[in-house]
Amino acid sequence: MAIITLTHHKKDIKMKVKQLTIYKQAKIVEMTDANNQYYIALFYKNKFINAKKLNAIQLQSFLKTSFTYGTQYSSTNPLTRMFLSNNKKYRVSSSNQMFQNLKEKYTDIEMLYVLSMFDNFLDNKKITALCKKIFYQYRRNGQMKTAYRTIINYVQIRPHDRFAKDMLHHMDFQKYQDAYQQFDKMVAKWEDTLYIEAAAANHINSKTAINQLLHYYNKEERWFDALAFSYQLFKKQIPPFDPNELDHFEALLDKFKCPDIAASFWEELLKLDPMSDRILLKLSENQANKAIISTILVTDNKEQLEAFERALLNVDGEVLLQYKQELFSYILTSFHDNRPKMEELVHFCMKKLLQYISVTEILDYLGQSELAITTKLRNMKQLEQNPDQQFALGEIYFHLEQYDKAIKCFEWEMELSPDDQKPLQYLQKCYMALGDKKTAKNYQDLLINISSRPKTS
């Protein structure tokens, strides 16, 4: 579970992350403390601004709008994990301190923009009063375009503010209204980046806007924003994905130096484009074999047999156990024209799964298929039901590397024939294979003891 650390009054507080919401330039992290009290941490352009205890959500607040129209990611999603991967501590400040910090860091327009994101926690009348103060100051100075910019960016955050809505449609600003309605032209000229970025979500189909925005993120070195935007674009696309876009995405992932999270991203992309050779290759490089097997089995992808085989031979039985039913069916149908390979893979899966499921269950999954391994399994099933054939069954289990099951068979045989050295020899080999040298030595000593006894006539 993702954890975020807040520092309040010089005290560190560990918070459990519940969800990340991305909306416009804001990142909102929902979290709970040890007493299950709810909090949010708000970031602007990936910079931490402040954290607030959340008692209620006002209907017309930016917080409510973000949760309604923003994109949510769970605490386990790779995007959330990447966003919090720097493991920083974030200092909580009072509302007055926050206001002073914003005034020092940003222009008046941007300061108002960010401050308004906290309208759920602040006096809305004071926010509107601040908006009026900034707006009229520009207007009195004859800076009409800047005055309009103040209002149109402000309503991106507080669209219900009556004063701002009235000013937007004032006849003094008609020419600016017309310019802002031509979004592609604004993007081409790259005017008012604050507004363009905020409004970009409404123009996700504009190739010009997409390219310019990604260029802007790269120029500003806002790698997470570029990553999140690219990831969102992939989720809206119809595969196959453009190789150049995958190249760009890989380059962004490399910026973070988090290979485990990067592998999780490729797993998510494979779900969206399960036929992609490029994505499968990246997952193979990251040894994400479970994801490869899962996706290929779920989609019944017959085009990626090499990737499937490579992944299959590098996973343990617990992974195969999750897909046991689909697994044998897929191998029998996909490798039907390559019988030696089919036999090899079925044999491999059987060896991995026998420690978890019965011979009878494996036979059920293989159905009526006539394979060499099927004959062996049927023989094992008969031997299991015959107490006098446990030594023969133990030998089969031993050669299948099922040492725990083989041990039970040889121990049974040893009780029936205590002077027979063969069960002891196998028991010694089984424990050596399991790495239990002490028990193996005990059986070795027992063998020596038995062999040194005088033979009775």
Q: Is residue 104 part of a domain?
A: yes
Domain of 333 in residue numbering reads as 287-385
Residue where one domain finishes, among candidates 79, 101, 122: 122
Euclidean distance between CA atoms 264 and 268, whole angstroms: 6
How many of the other CB atoms lie within 10 Å of CB of 184? 13
The three-point CA angle 268-269-274 to 5° equals: 110
Residues 24 and 79 in one domain: yes
Q: Does 192 reside within a domain?
A: no
- Same-domain status, 364 and 450: no
User: Tokens 């800076």 identify what position?
Assistant: 143
Same domain, 436 and 377: no
The residue among 80, 102, 122 that closes a domain is 122
Quote the mean pLDDT of the chain: 93
β-partners of residue 12 are 7
- Residues 409, 299: one domain? no
Domain membership of residue 415 (yes or no) is yes
Q: Are residues 14 and 40 in the same domain?
A: yes
Is 420 found in the same domain as 314? no
Question: How many Å apart are CA 48 and CA 53, to the nearest integer?
Answer: 15
Cα–Cα distance for residue pair 454/377, rounded to 1 Å: 41
Q: Per the structure, how many domains does the chain have?
A: 3
Asked if residue 152 lies in contact with residue 195, where contact means CB atoms within 8 angstroms, the answer is yes
Per-residue pLDDT of the chain (457 residues; tens, 9 = 90+): 789 999 998 899 999 999 999 999 999 999 999 999 999 999 999 999 999 999 999 999 999 999 999 999 999 999 999 999 988 899 999 999 999 999 999 999 999 999 999 999 999 999 999 999 999 999 999 999 999 999 999 999 999 999 999 999 999 999 999 999 988 888 888 889 999 999 987 777 778 888 889 999 999 999 999 999 999 999 999 999 999 999 999 999 999 999 999 999 999 999 999 989 899 989 988 889 999 999 999 888 888 899 999 999 999 999 999 999 899 999 999 999 999 999 999 999 999 999 899 999 999 999 888 888 888 899 999 998 888 899 999 999 999 899 999 999 999 988 888 878 899 999 999 999 999 999 999 989 888 888 776 665 4
Q: Is residue 169 part of a domain?
A: no
115, part of any domain? yes
| Domain membership flag for residue 316 | yes
What backbone torsions phi and psi does residue 88 show, to the nearest 5 degrees? -75, 165
| Together in a domain, 435 and 381 | no
- Same domain, yes or no: 5 and 106: yes
**Measuring CA to CA, how many Å separate 316 from each of 42, 174, 312, 320, 356?**
42, 67, 9, 7, 11
For residues 421 and 350, state if they share a domain: no
CATH of the domain at 452: 1.25.40
On whether both 295 and 377 belong to a single domain, the answer is yes
Residue 168 inside a domain? The answer is no
Check whether residue 2 and residue 108 sit in a common domain. Answer: yes
From 67, 100, 122, give the residue that closes a domain. Answer: 122
Measure the CA–CA gap between 78 and 267, rounded to whole angstroms. Answer: 10
C-alpha dihedral (253, 281, 319, 72), degrees to nearest 10:
30
Q: Is residue 292 domain-shared with residue 366, that is, in the same domain?
A: yes
Residue 456 confidence (pLDDT): 54
In a domain, 81, yes or no: yes
